[in-house]
Structure 1
Amino acid sequence: MNTSDATQDVDRLYREYKPLLTSIAYRMLGSMSEAEDAVQDVFVAVSRLSGSGEIEHPKAYLVKMTTNRALNMMKAAPRRRESYPGPWLPEPIIELDDKEQPLEQLLRQERLGYAMLVLLQTCTPPERAVFVLRESFGYDYAEIASMLDKSEAACRKIFSRASAKIGHLTAEEQETSPDPAMDRFVRSFEEALASGRPDSLIHLLAEDAVLLSDGGGIVRAAINPIEGPARIAAFFVGIAGKGSLDGRWRRVRISGQPGLLLEREQLTPIAFAIEPDGLGGIRAIYMVSNPEKLTRISF
């Protein structure tokens, strides 16, 4: 293969597989910028190998390379997050309209939403990799074992440990919860905050509800998780009194699921993702106001 043909082949692979590979890396890393870096590193490596012949199974090869690159990047993440001010939440991928790009289409088709992405942060890098490949992308254990250079039995055990840590519904069980239910939660949440009476949130919240707020040390946010309906409602009453909830409320999709975006004049917007408890209440509220995680809003 000459240099020109090799370059064209790498370009074709990039166009064809970039959305899939970026989505895998994003699920594992929780950061779109890091996911894009991982995929870029993979294709730089592929371009160096392109002169040695055609890749026999390009999709499997690229997924394996991306997975292992993300695993290597995750090894450095705990050190960075030890000094992170307050809870670290994954970067939300926010869509404001129906003009989906290939990556957004993948996120909507996948079965793991933003809440599960948060929970994945409690897993070790290998647990996260196995869980994402199995639950979100449907790879069987033989394929995952090949990608991670482990046995099928080991991958099954890793998946079991990850599932136990997450301790929530499996992806198949989540699929039985229709989008209209999530839409009702989002609508009620929006009405409570936009009405100027955030204390009315109490009836929406489960007894063990928790609020996690990520300002990244750049904007003011709660440093510790806020637990319980009364304390969560009091938090919103407090910030509403300071004008922090003034602005334009928009229903959006956050990493493929319904959510809210508060657009504030001359201030960083705030993204809200909601996790239902499956019993008619809200189990968790994820509030992201770190401006570094809100740079990819697609208007």
Structure 2
Amino acid sequence: MNASEDKLAVERLYREYKPLLTSIAYRMLGSMSEAEDAVQDVFVSFSRLRGAEIEHPKAYLVKMVANRALNMMKAAPRRRESYPGPWLPEPIIEADDPHAPLGQLMRRERLGYALLVLLQTCTPPERAVFVLRESFGYDYADIAAMLDKSAAACRKIFSRASAKIGHPQREAAEEDASDPAMDRFVRSFADALESGRAEAFVHLLADDAMLLSDGGGIVRAALNPIEGRARIAAFFVGIAGKGALAGRWHRVRISGQRGLLLERDGLPPIAFALAPDDRLDMVREIYLVSNPHKLTRIAR
């Protein structure tokens, strides 16, 4: 195969596998911009290898992007040490349309925004193994080959990650809550905040509920987690009184799960995602993202 044919073949592989590779990297990194950088770097390296001649290009590319994301994750803690306040994953926001392609993809892979947040509590190897196993269905032998570990080691890593996340109970709860329960939470939350009566939502909060707010040091946000239903209600009453919740509310999909987007004139938007408790009858956590650098993925 000559250089021109090889280039065309690599471009074809890029078009075919970019969505899959980007999806894997996004789940591992929690950042779409970093995921896109990882995939771009992988294809630059792949093209230098005369990648079109590799016997199993898909497996090879998945291995490359997983390891590239692992290397990037190992550098992330140093960057986040100086991050102002809680660091939350970059949300991908689409209209709440059951036929929207990203929403379908995220729900099919059973990894919504709440689980994406929980993955940040895992070590880089735990996150890599969990994503490859749970979201993409790779068997332990394949994962072992990708990460240069034994299959037995990958099983242990997956078990540790599952214990941290609360899988499978928590994952099953969030999957089951994707429609009726989450719709009730989102509708009540939107009604309460739109009407200026934040206290109307308090009865849906668990006693030990927590709110995490990510403004990135660009937009004013709570620098520490807010714990307890009374303190969360007071927080919303306070910011509503300052006009911070005035604008246009939209029900959306946030990285595949139901949530809310507040668009404000002259100010950055705010994305809200909710996580239910294990019984699906209370809200356990609220994630509030107002960092404008993380709110560029809003599909109109």
Q: Same fold (TM over 0.5)?
A: yes
1:39 aligns with 2:35: no
The one-letter code matched in structure 2 to 1:282 is V
Match status 1:110 vs 2:109:
yes
* Residue pair 2:103, 2:253 contacting (<8 A) in 1 also: no
Q: What's the offset of the Cα at 1:103?
A: 4.9
Paired residues for 1:1-299 under 5 Å: 1-50=1-50, 54-96=53-95, 98=97, 103=102, 105-168=104-167, 169=169, 171-172=171-172, 174-279=174-279, 280-299=281-300
Runs of 4+ in 1 over 3 A off after TM superposition: 97-105, 170-178
Residue 213 of structure 1 aligns to a residue whose secondary structure is: strand
**2-structure distance, mates of 1:57, 1:229:** 52
CA gap of 1:174–1:221, structure 2 versus 1, over 3 A, is closer
Distance 1:218 1:100 in 2: 34
Pair 237,174 (structure 1): closer, same or farther in 2 beyond 3 Å: closer
Matched length? 298
Structure 2 residue ranges without an equivalent (≥5): none
- AA at the equivalent of 1:20: L
What is the identity, as a one-letter code, of the residue corresponding to 1:295? T
- SS of aligned partner of 1:286: strand
1:186 to partner: Cα distance: 0.7
Q: How far did residue 178 of structure 1 move? A: 4.7
> CA contact under 8 A between 1:23 and 1:106: conserved in structure 2?
no
Q: Secondary structure at the match of 1:278?
A: coil
Measure the CA separation in 2 of the matches of 1:281 and 1:43: 45
1:140-167, Cα deviation, whole Å (9 max, x unpaired): 1111111101001100111111111122
In structure 2, what is the Cα distance between the partners aligned to 1:296 and 1:151?
37
| Cα distance change on mapping 1:103 and 1:70 into 2, 3 Å | farther
Distance 1:101 1:193 in 2: 26
For residues 78-101 of structure 1, the C-alpha deviation after alignment (integer angstroms, 9 at most, x for no partner) is 000000000000000001364977
Corresponding letter in the other structure for 2:247: G
User: 2:55, 2:102 → 1: CA distance?
Assistant: 25
Kindly tell me: are residues 61 and 10 of structure 1, through their superposed partners in 2, closer, same or farther at Cα, counting changes over 3 Å? same
Q: Equivalent pairs: percent with the same residue? A: 79
Does the 8 A contact of 2:206 with 2:283 survive in 1? yes
- For 1:195, the aligned partner's letter is S
Q: Report the Cα offset of residue 295 of structure 1.
A: 1.1
Distance in 1 (alpha carbons) for counterparts of 2:87 and 2:65:
23
**Separation in structure 1 between the aligned mates of residue 102 and residue 6 of structure 2, nearest angstrom:** 26
Q: Match for 1:230: what amino acid?
A: A
In the alignment, residue 287 of structure 1 is paired with which amino acid? L
2: distance between equivalents of 1:184 and 1:217?
32
**How far apart, in 2, do the equivalents of 1:100 and 1:24 lie?**
21
CA RMSD of aligned residues (A): 1.6
* CA distances 1:28-53 after superposition (whole Å, capped 9, x unpaired): 000000000000001001111127x6
Structure 1 residues 37 and 104, CA gap change in structure 2 (3 angstroms): farther
Q: Which amino acid aligns with 1:266?
A: G
The alpha carbon displacement at 1:55 in A equals 1.7
Distance 2:211 2:173 in 1: 24
